[in-house]
Amino acid sequence: MVKANYYNKNKIKFIDMLQGGKANKNSRGQIIKHADFQSDVKSRNHIEPSRNWFTNTKTVTQDDLEMYRNNIRTKSPYDVLLSTGNVPYSLINNDIKVKRKLDYSFAFGKQGNAKKFKTTYKTMAELAEKAADKKKNYSEMLCKENTKKLIENCESTNKKSWSELYKVLDSSDVIVHVLDARDPLGTKNNQVEKFLKDKQHKTLIFLLNKVDLVPTGVTAAWLRYLSKEHVSLAYHANSINYNYGKQNLLNIIRQLRTLHKKKATMSIGFVGYPNTGKSSIINSLRNKKVCSVAPVPGQTKTWQYVTLTKNTYMIDSPGVCQYDDKIKAVLSNSIKIETLEDTDIYVNALFEKVGKDVIEKTYNIKFENQEDFFIKMGHKYGKLLKGGEPNVDLISKMVLHDFFRGKISYYTECTFE
């Protein structure tokens, strides 16, 4: 009886492997079947042999990574950051502070760093030159001190308003910066943008108010320019029932509320210069008077919470501005006119800002200079003192009031396109 030689499947593969190792080729030398472990397809898992794998590794901090992301990111005013990861990287910081040690010779040796007595002047001529320089700058110093005294009360109020403003910025998820459409850059608070630069989870919206006092083309140009950085809208709220841009603003608020749906509530803070119409906008959104409104600065003293919907709140803030120049502060309606002295100075600045032709067209009078203007205005409106002299203070305040309320037409054109 012949014993059969049976092979299983694994043994056959093993024998083929031992007998293999060469590729099957045709008469032309082309490979028909590849040998084991042979292929014409390049492996994708191959790692390039390089010395860089064995050199020191480069490390980078999270701040550098964030800066790199911001540089390569395509900036769009319609991007909204929903959440950020808060990883406690400070816990893995292994920097050890070494106690400073100084050598004895560093303090008391020949090369010591001991302070030497320095005289403010070497000769009497040098002393005389310094005295002349101080005398020259004395008048400018006096002028600055007088200006500080004039706006001392306004600055104390302004400090309180700034503290209220930062409370609103910290408490708000969305910040609506209200700008005067007649002078958007003049009423834009750069401190707000600077503060929100590191707060990427907060959304900033520019709202051009009082667009009814400006031509449509000028408003459109400013919107195109401002929308390059942040979302910008046109608005005017002359009354609760008569307004423009309300639906556009509500649509954006709804979209932001949908994005922030993980939060229980969303707060919208309204900030800007005094008398730009923040309270009027809130009243128009609520369709009723919930904030006090007046055409004078300082009407809103503290921040105020107003309910817009069940989960959305609005925060009204007092207006703030920087008092670097008192004339600019007065012409932006940031200081009450009743507290001013020598109001004719501000009327002269208004003439330079608006132009003589606009003043003549508004009051329908012709005048040669500022003195002639006060005389003709006094006779036309009956604002005269004893002896027939014009009441300069009363006329100046009347002109400034007309400018703030939009009777004197003025606007700045956008030249940045």
Give the CA diameter of the chain: 154
| Residue type (1 letter), 278 | K
Q: Averaged over 50-65, what is the pLDDT?
A: 76
**Rounded to an integer, what distance in angstroms lies between the CA atom of residue 150 and that of residue 368?**
31
**Rounded to an integer, what distance in angstroms lies between the CA atom of residue 340 and that of residue 397?**
9
Count the alpha carbons within 13 Å of 126 in the hemisphere toward its beta carbon: 5
Tell me the three state secondary structure of residue 37. coil
Residue 186 has pLDDT above 80, yes or no: yes
Q: Is 49 exposed, middle or buried (0-12, 13-18, 19+ CB in 10 A)?
A: exposed
**Rounded to an integer, what distance in angstroms lies between the CA atom of residue 281 and that of residue 316?**
10
Instruction: Identify the weakest region by mean pLDDT among 121-130, 247-256, 279-288, 296-305.
Output: 296-305
pLDDT of residue 119: 60
CA 72 to chain centre: 21
Q: Averaged over 20-48, what is the pLDDT?
A: 79
**Rounded to an integer, what distance in angstroms lies between the CA atom of residue 158 and that of residue 352?**
27
β-strand partners of 313: 267, 307
Residue 50 has pLDDT above 50, yes or no: yes
pLDDT of residue 55: 75
pLDDT of residue 105: 67
Outline where DSSP puts E strands in 159-211: 174-180, 203-209
| Domain 153-316 superfamily per CATH | P-loop containing nucleotide triphosphate hydrolases (3.40.50.300)
Residue 337 has pLDDT above 50, yes or no: yes
Confidence of residue 206 (pLDDT cuts 50, 70, 90): very high
Instruction: Identify the weakest region by mean pLDDT among 48-52, 70-74, 109-113, 318-322.
Output: 109-113
**Rounded to an integer, what distance in angstroms lies between the CA atom of residue 26 and that of residue 32?**
7
Instruction: Identify the weakest region by mean pLDDT among 47-61, 208-222, 375-389.
Output: 47-61
- Residue position matching structure tokens 């029932």: 241
Taking the alpha carbons at both ends of the chain, their separation in whole angstroms is: 105
Task: Tell me the range of 11-25, 125-139, 354-368 where mean pLDDT is highest.
Answer: 354-368
pLDDT of residue 91: 57
Cα angle at 302 between 299 and 305, to 5 degrees?
110
Q: For residue 287, give the nearest of 251, 250, 262 by alpha carbon.
A: 250
Higher pLDDT, 65 or 109: 65
Q: What is the three-state SS of 56-68?
A: CCCCCCHHHHHHH
pLDDT of residue 297: 63
Q: Averaged over 295-311, what is the pLDDT?
A: 75
Domain ranges of the chain: 153-316, 341-404
pLDDT tens string 259-276: 888 888 899 999 988 888
Contact (Cβ atoms closer than 8 angstroms) between residue 396 and residue 344: yes
Confidence of residue 156 (pLDDT cuts 50, 70, 90): very low
Residue 93 has pLDDT above 60, yes or no: no
Q: Give percent above pLDDT 90 in the chain.
A: 4
pLDDT tens string 355-386: 888 888 888 888 888 888 888 888 888 888 87
Q: Give percent above pLDDT 70 in the chain.
A: 78
Q: In whole numbers, what is the pLDDT of the chain averaged over residues?
A: 78
Outline where DSSP puts E strands in 22-173: 24-25, 31-33
Confidence of residue 246 (pLDDT cuts 50, 70, 90): confident
**Rounded to an integer, what distance in angstroms lies between the CA atom of residue 181 and that of residue 23?**
82
Q: Global pTM?
A: 0.64
Tell me the three state secondary structure of residue 316. strand
Q: Is 327 exposed, middle or buried (0-12, 13-18, 19+ CB in 10 A)?
A: middle
* DSSP notation for 131-146: HHHHHHHHHHHHHHHH
pLDDT of residue 121: 65
Q: Averaged over 180-192, what is the pLDDT?
A: 86
**Rounded to an integer, what distance in angstroms lies between the CA atom of residue 123 and that of residue 120?**
10
**Rounded to an integer, what distance in angstroms lies between the CA atom of residue 257 and that of residue 261?**
6
